[in-house]
Amino acid sequence: MCSMPARTALNTAQSPPPSRSPAGRQGGTVGIRTWLLLLLAAALLPFFLVQAGVYYVLCLSQRKAGMEANLERAQAVSTEFGAFVADVLHQQATAGSALVLYDQEPEQAEGLLAQAVRNTPCLRHLCFVSPEGRVLASSEPGLTESHLPALPAATQSSHGHEWALSNLFTDPLSGQPGFAVLQNVRDSRGALAGVVVAVVDPPKLDEALPISLAGTGTGTVALIDGAGRYVYVHPWGNVRPGDSAAQPAALLANALASQGQVATYRSAPGEQEWLAGLAPVPSSGWLAEARRPAAAALAPLSTGLLHGTSLFALAGLAALAAVSVFARPLVDPILNLREQALGLGGGQRSGRVAVAGPAEVRDLVAAFDHMAREIDAREVQSALLLRELQDASRLLEQSEARYRSLFETALDAVLIAGDDGRILEVNPRAGELTGYSQQELLGMSLLNLIPAELHTRAAELYEEYLCAQRIEAELALQHKGGQVLPVEVQAVQVPPIGLQVTLRDIGARTRAAKERERLLAEVHRRAAELDAIITSIPAGIVIIDSSGAVMRMNAAAQALLGHAAGEPSRPWPEQMATGLIQQPDGRPFAVEDLPSFRALHGETVQGAVAVIRRAEAELWLMISAAPISTANGRLLGAVVSYVDATAMHEMQKQREDILGMVSHDLRGPLTVIHGQAELLLRWLSRAGLTGNERRSTVAILASARRMNAMIQDLVDAARLESGQLPMEVRPLDLCSFVVDHMQQMAGMAESERIEVIGAEGLPPVLADAERLARILANLLSNALKYSPPESRVTVSFSCEGGFVVTAVTDHGQGIAPEEIQHLGRRYYRTRSARSHREGLGLGLYICRMLVEALGGRLWVQSEQDQGSTFYFSLPVAE
């Protein structure tokens, strides 16, 4: 299945196969038939040449005979025309003698001349002209007395005759061309008496030349005058009397000078050829010509040649047919053989070739058969070989592609070098690692990539390589930019090329190892620090994993939680005291309320209070917890700290006891003082005592009230801190609440200085009314206390982002900027307040705690000597 495409591929790589048609044979080769035909042609050629030679000779003699026949005819014309002229001269002589000798009357003379014209064929008319040229008598009466001066002179011809023949001229009487025969007439004394002029009509010369004209056939007969013009032509054809003769002038001159002349000529280039004979007309300067077309003269010969050639051609065709027929047994097997050879070349199986023809051809066919069988056998072998070759080639290509891909994309630099160490091939990574381009690396020595100080080491490694044919070592690379890079070198032998060197950049690995070491040391250091901290810290520290299992706990935690050393860890450290750990109010902790559980859910817990009640004692704990997360937010566990707050709780309890005692024990007498002072004041009023007694009583009353307020502050502060000041929040209209509050304050000292600036559309706030009243009372009393007696105090409202902000503004002494930040702390008072005013410094502290407990915020803006504004915000009720 695979062999045929391979064969096609081979065929396409070679020259195209020869055409299957015999006509398509390679150029320059000649077929057997052609050879035979050429041989035949060579055999017939002498016969053809002989026939052509004979025809040529015959042609020459035929032309010569034709010309001589024409010369004879021309001489006959000349003779016959001469006889005609002699006849005319005779008539002229007769008429002239009669006119001169017998002095005829004009009428008689004309009659005589007319009789002569009638006697002589071809004559137009006769005249008798005086030597001066005057027509004395004429056969045409109209001519008498006319003047013909030129004619007598014609009689003075050089040849010494008494007669002359004129050239062709236009007859004045008829206006037609004609020629004249002139005859001198002498008197009895021999003097010239006149000239008889006979004007001949040329076309009528047919009658004068009957013998010559007979049998002209395709030829013509002509008379040419001394001026070389046709006087007479038979048959006329296109020629007219007076036309210039067609013959060359030299031929005419030669003919006049000789007895006769033969010639061939053409009337004009391209015209037919004439075979001509020219003979002079004696004593006239005229020529007689007879001519015949050469083609007509040679026609019989041509016909013979045609017949001969036809026969020759027929014989040739017959020979051709014979060659074709006789060559067939020779040619057909060869053509058949050729077809088989072409088919074999085109990949077809050869069949057996028919064995026929001569012995040599049969031998050839047998040899071809043998060759075809050999080719078939070898073809099968070739196909198998080709298939194996293709499979191997495909595997090789796949392997090459895989190798190339690995080579190109390898993360390590790969260099292939010859045995001399010159680099032959590199991958892209090699370029990146060395800083050289791939092109620059080719041809470079491997040694150039190694720092000079490591050449000795490189030589050692090479020795190792020569022994083991493989090495792996750490070395350094000289980068093009000058840097020295640590690399791991691997060299393996790649026969027959040389060796393959793989370089791996271990710079990053080395750096990473160093960094890892540094980090490990840092981790160890920090772990040691942490260990020290955890061990030394008095608080109990427990670290739990994400499932709540205890990973680590210090001794303090073990002591606090009652965990024995070596006891297996349990989840939720607080649960180690299960049943014992409780909330301050005595309720047990639910798991989800445990600080460790909350921390593992991302919450940071601070200062949660728990109590462990054991038989021997009660342990109060302050618990804080925070999640431990990775940088990307993955929860690893939590750290929980436990601080023993038992002592603090005891102190707080003691303080509360003291405060309870103070508030109870001090308030009792103070209430009595206050009541007695009020009673005293009423008595003094009734008694009309308004002097010192009343002022002293008012002072006692005011002091009692202030003391009561201070005791209240102390008690409230203590309750707030111990979380014993419960809140009952409900929606309140703040503005209305403040106005009501002001009305309750009416009558109190300086309350008239307070102005409430109402605001429309304020949303209700969530607050506890009693605590809110306390906040307002504290802020307003401070504003009144720390501002001049006549100045005003304003209360205003605004709504800001889900909160209603209340502002209490006074125009008092203000607060120094550096002191503002300390306001709101427990017992903090400004310097000026400390020296001039009474107070504990708890009012703002209580305000802040209450506002924050209600979900709001307390802050102040103040400018010294200008006044202060205290703001507090409360959340808007939803």
Chain positions contacting ligand ADP, by CB under 6 A? 778, 782-783, 786, 810, 812, 815, 823, 829-830, 833, 839-845, 868
- Identify which of residues 301 and 840 has a Cβ nearer to ligand ADP in the complex: 840
Quick one: DSSP state of residue 753?
Answer: G
Q: Least distance to ligand ADP from the beta carbon of 778, Å?
A: 6
Q: Least distance to ligand ADP from the beta carbon of 538, Å?
A: 34
Determine what percent of the chain falls in helix, strand and coil, rounding each to the nearest 5: 50, 25, 30
Q: Which tokens belong to 392?
A: 């191997």
Residues found in the chain? 878
Evaluate whether 294 touches 276 at the Cβ level (below 8 Å): no
Q: Least distance to ligand ADP from the beta carbon of 726, Å?
A: 23
Q: Least distance to ligand ADP from the beta carbon of 699, Å?
A: 19
- Identify which of residues 192 and 670 has a Cβ nearer to ligand ADP in the complex: 670
- Identify which of residues 240 and 822 has a Cβ nearer to ligand ADP in the complex: 822
Rounded Cα gap, residues 166 and 85, in angstroms:
12
Q: Least distance to ligand ADP from the beta carbon of 677, Å?
A: 22
Q: Least distance to ligand ADP from the beta carbon of 536, Å?
A: 40
- Identify which of residues 637 and 841 has a Cβ nearer to ligand ADP in the complex: 841
Q: Other CB atoms closer than 10 Å to residue 622's CB: what's the count?
A: 18
Please name the residue that has the structure tokens 């750290």. Answer: 639
Q: Least distance to ligand ADP from the beta carbon of 827, Å?
A: 8
- Identify which of residues 641 and 830 has a Cβ nearer to ligand ADP in the complex: 830
Q: Least distance to ligand ADP from the beta carbon of 865, Å?
A: 11
Q: Least distance to ligand ADP from the beta carbon of 864, Å?
A: 10
Task: Report phi then psi at 298, rounded to 5.
Answer: -95, 0
Cα-based distances in Å from 178 to 60, 114, 115, 122, 231: 40, 18, 20, 10, 8
DSSP H helices, 199-248, are: 205-208, 210-213
Rounded Cα gap, residues 732 and 738, in angstroms:
10
Residue 128, H or E segment: strand 123-129
Evaluate whether 237 touches 220 at the Cβ level (below 8 Å): yes
- Identify which of residues 595 and 856 has a Cβ nearer to ligand ADP in the complex: 856
Q: Least distance to ligand ADP from the beta carbon of 773, Å?
A: 16
- Identify which of residues 66 and 839 has a Cβ nearer to ligand ADP in the complex: 839
- Identify which of residues 475 and 659 has a Cβ nearer to ligand ADP in the complex: 659
Q: Which tokens belong to 270?
A: 């391209």
Q: Least distance to ligand ADP from the beta carbon of 560, Å?
A: 37
Rounded Cα gap, residues 693 and 680, in angstroms:
9
DSSP 3-state assignment of 137? strand
Task: Report phi then psi at 820, rounded to 5.
Answer: -60, -40
Q: Least distance to ligand ADP from the beta carbon of 707, Å?
A: 12
Q: Which tokens belong to 334?
A: 């060869």
- Identify which of residues 577 and 783 has a Cβ nearer to ligand ADP in the complex: 783
Cα-based distances in Å from 794 to 262, 710, 837: 167, 25, 22
- Identify which of residues 504 and 774 has a Cβ nearer to ligand ADP in the complex: 774
Q: Least distance to ligand ADP from the beta carbon of 776, Å?
A: 13
Q: Residue 688 — left, alpha, or beta (φ > 0 → left; ψ -120 to 50 → alpha)? A: left
Helices (runs of H) and strands (runs of E) counted in the chain:
22, 29
Task: Report phi then psi at 95, rounded to 5.
Answer: -70, -40
- Identify which of residues 63 and 829 has a Cβ nearer to ligand ADP in the complex: 829
Q: Least distance to ligand ADP from the beta carbon of 710, Å?
A: 8
Task: Report phi then psi at 626, rounded to 5.
Answer: -145, 145
- Identify which of residues 570 and 834 has a Cβ nearer to ligand ADP in the complex: 834
The partner residues of 422 in beta bridges, in order of sequence, read 445
Among candidates 475, 495, 496, which has minimal Cα distance to 484?
Answer: 475
b/e burial code for range 684-719 (CB count within 10 A of at least 16 → b)? beeeeeeeeebeebeebbeebeebbbbbebbbbbbb
Q: Which residue is at the shortest CB distance from ligand ADP?
A: 839
- Identify which of residues 620 and 870 has a Cβ nearer to ligand ADP in the complex: 870
Q: Other CB atoms closer than 10 Å to residue 574's CB: what's the count?
A: 26
- Give the amino acid at 68: E
- 571 cis-preceded (ω within 30 degrees of 0): no
Rounded Cα gap, residues 290 and 223, in angstroms:
9
Q: Least distance to ligand ADP from the beta carbon of 836, Å?
A: 9
DSSP H helices, 267-293, are: none
Q: Other CB atoms closer than 10 Å to residue 878's CB: what's the count?
A: 8
Q: Where are the beta strands (DSSP E) in 597-671?
A: 605-613, 618-629, 635-644
Quick one: DSSP state of residue 204?
Answer: G
Q: Least distance to ligand ADP from the beta carbon of 757, Å?
A: 17
* 63-64-68-71 Cα dihedral, nearest 10 degrees: 70
- Identify which of residues 627 and 867 has a Cβ nearer to ligand ADP in the complex: 867
Pairing of the two strands 230-234 and 220-224? antiparallel
First to last CA, the chain: 88
- Identify which of residues 81 and 786 has a Cβ nearer to ligand ADP in the complex: 786
Q: Other CB atoms closer than 10 Å to residue 480's CB: what's the count?
A: 13
- Identify which of residues 167 and 778 has a Cβ nearer to ligand ADP in the complex: 778
Q: Least distance to ligand ADP from the beta carbon of 624, Å?
A: 29
Among candidates 487, 479, 501, which has minimal Cα distance to 427?
Answer: 501
- 496 cis-preceded (ω within 30 degrees of 0): yes
- Identify which of residues 845 and 871 has a Cβ nearer to ligand ADP in the complex: 845
- Identify which of residues 280 and 841 has a Cβ nearer to ligand ADP in the complex: 841
